[in-house]
Amino acid sequence: MNKNEAKEEILKLRKQLEIWANKYYDEDNPEVSDYEYDMTMNKLKALEKEFPDLVTQDSLTQKVGGHVKEGFEKVEHEVPLQSLQDIFSFEELEEFKERVYKAAKENNFKEDEVKFVVETKIDGLSAALEYKEGKFVRGATRGNGLVGEDVTENLKTIKTIPKELPEPINIIVRGEVFIGKKEFEKMNEERELNEEKTFANARNAAAGSLRQLDTKITKQRPLDIYIFNVQKIEGKEFNSHFEELNYLKKLGFNVNPVLIPCNNIPEAIDAINKIGEEREELTFGIDGAVIKVDDLKLREKMGTTSKVPRWAIAYKYPPEKKETKLKDIICQVGRTGAITPMAILEPVKVAGSTISKTTLHNEDFIKEKDIRVGDTIVVQKAGDVIPEILEVKKKNRDGTEKVFEMPKVCPVCGAPVIREEGEAVSRCIGIECPAKLVRNIIHFVSRECMNIDGLGDKIIEQLINKNLISNIADIYFLKFEDIATLKKNGQKFTQNLIDAINNSKNNDLYRLIAALGIRHIGTKAAKTLAKKYKTMDNLMNASLESLTMTDDIGEISANSIYEFFRQDQTVDLINRLKEANVNMEALESEDIDNRFEGKTFVLTGTLEKFTRKEASDLIEKHGGKTSGSVSKKTDYVLAGEDAGSKLTKAQSLGVEIITEEQFEEMMK
């Protein structure tokens, strides 16, 4: 490769890496695996090493990825939060050893005096915690290593961060914010239940949670932190890194639990292998092992580059790949009705754990890779956690392999399966599908729908587990003694719940329509349908043409409604709700003016006289709409106490800012 070709390739690689780094560091939404990113970075490093005069300071080989997110205050780090040089083989570790021993010799250290510490490289987001006279005063993300984001209030929501130390010292420590494996799985399950987008991996879930502008959201996320370094300390001196970390434990910090002292590099290699073998059993995700020089004076002599310390290195475990047989493809139905094909494999051990099944995501994924039952496939663990099929060994086929087709009916309840245009997911549309039961009932009883107060998630699961309800309509046939068995001395609770269930029978028709959970039909569309069709029977019998001609109901929504009411399960549910005397007609509504028609409001801060939901409902009731972000198109920002970045942005754009009192005046 000549110099011009190298320059062109270097620019191409830098551009691609910048895009991926932006997705990873700034948007917390990675496009590629860590391994693919690392391999691309290695190509760039190799080219820059071969053509050193093409190296520029804006290359990601020379700087730390990441920028300060808009809305956060900038924090200049007193001590830079550097990255680490990555290696992928023990041969490269030998090069690190030679570099360390050469520096030791030049600075009059004996070779046998050079010790190392091997630690887990936690897969999370790096942060610096600053204490003044023992009190936690500020916390910041790494950012670009020199300037980070002030996330003090968000860090205060992490229970394992001490707010005050037992000694009145001034200290800055560095740690990794993460979400544990079990906590991550549980969080994603809850998001799926609520039909929210699930997180791709625990690292980005942690990063996105810590970098929330709304601290209330951060508080809801199961964040934790492990401290792994002293950045700066006043009034104390230490000889070794190991000594520092033991001191941090005494101060009450949650220190990285995997710390292996080593006398030499062979011992360090043993430690790396040990962590690799046991990483499946760790409660947190890792993306490698870190080897550090233990002696702090030797570290000081070795120094750093603009991006990485010379006294530490990160060993990245190569993703282990294995061949196995795909025995079958079965379909699982999730709580939202999404049907996911699963590959059943001949059990194979990969990266320390036995894999016998893995997700095939959707129909497109199977077709793209041409995966067939009976194929020999190559599997690896993506991100060291999730097993995935990399490729199919098509040359091994003998003609007995079977092409897979997505089911036309739900494997659980037999209702039709649909795949809407533009979507990759196929779904069961059965309202009484057992796989969707918990999610359907939670939606049905929610405040925006039938508003049955007291019928929370745990109570619903208890009723299902005790076989007291097996579908939505069963709620209206519950007896006092059924509910009373759920709580000790729960007479008052039981009566309140019975009253709430009975009261919900009198709800307006639009609430019932919204509660049915028809795809694409929310409260606003439900109100439109109730206003036009007046009764449930009229809506059920409406033609596709009539539905399509309805205001605010597009072709996709109309088709969704039409198909929903053609199902036997839907007809059965409506008949049972009628039997329970649930209202099926639109109620006469008072005339409400559209004083906010064409106006967009943004709500920010803590409101005292209204909840945000109440204020939003009032705005929408009077023809306006609400938005989650401020722009030039925003008409009003309703600001309460502790209004944050939205208020600042509104001021900079000249958007009219109103108080609750002014909002009340507008409502009169």
Instruction: Please report where in the chains the tokens 């560091």 appear, as a residue.
Output: 25
- Residue 318 and residue 351: Cα distance in Å, rounded? 9
Instruction: Please report where in the chains the tokens 């007046």 appear, as a residue.
Output: 534
Q: Which of 121, 292, 436, 649 is catalytic?
A: 121
188: Cβ–Cβ under 8 A, 6 or more apart, which residues? 198, 199
Say whether pLDDT at 480 is over 60: yes
Residue 173, φ and ψ in degrees, nearest 5: -120, 160
Q: Which residues, in sequence order, are bridge partners of residue 330?
A: 342
Say whether pLDDT at 593 is over 80: no
pLDDT of residue 128: 96
CATH fold for the domain made of 3-62: Helix Hairpins (1.10.287)
pLDDT of residue 646: 87
What are 171-207's pLDDT values in tens digits? 999 999 999 988 988 888 787 766 677 787 788 889 8
* Residue 361 pLDDT level (bands cut at 50, 70, 90): confident
0.85 exceeded by pTM:
no
Task: Round the average pLDDT of the chain to a whole number and report it.
Answer: 88
CATH number of 321-403: 2.40.50.140
pLDDT of residue 637: 93
Respond yes or no: is residue 121 known to be catalytic.
yes
Say whether pLDDT at 24 is over 80: no
Say whether pLDDT at 66 is over 60: no
Share in percent of the chain as helix, strand, coil (round to 5): 40, 20, 40
Instruction: Please report where in the chains the tokens 């064409």 appear, as a residue.
Output: 598
Between 335 and 579, where is the model more confident?
579
Do 600-667 and 434-579 have the same topology in CATH?
no
User: CA geometry: angle at 95 spanning 90 and 98, to 5°?
Assistant: 125
Looking at the structure, give the CATH architecture of the domain made up of residues 76-315: 2-Layer Sandwich (3.30)
- Residue 68 and residue 145: Cα distance in Å, rounded? 11
Secondary structure in 3-state letters for 257-307: CCEEEECCHHHHHHHHHHHHHHHHHCCCCEEEEEEEECEHHHHHHHCECCC
Pick the CATH number of 600-667 from 2.40.30.130, 3.40.50.10190, 3.40.630.30, 3.90.1150.10: 3.40.50.10190
Asked if 139 and 127 count as a contact pair (C-beta separation under 8 A), the reply is: yes
| Residue 33 per-residue DSSP state | -
- Residue 574 and residue 584: Cα distance in Å, rounded? 9
Pull the structure tokens for residue 572. Answer: 């059965």
Pick the CATH number of 434-579 from 3.50.50.100, 1.10.357.10, 1.10.268.10, 1.10.150.20: 1.10.150.20
Domain ranges of the chain: 3-62, 76-315, 321-403, 434-579, 600-667
How many CB atoms are located within 10 Å of the residue 49 CB? 10
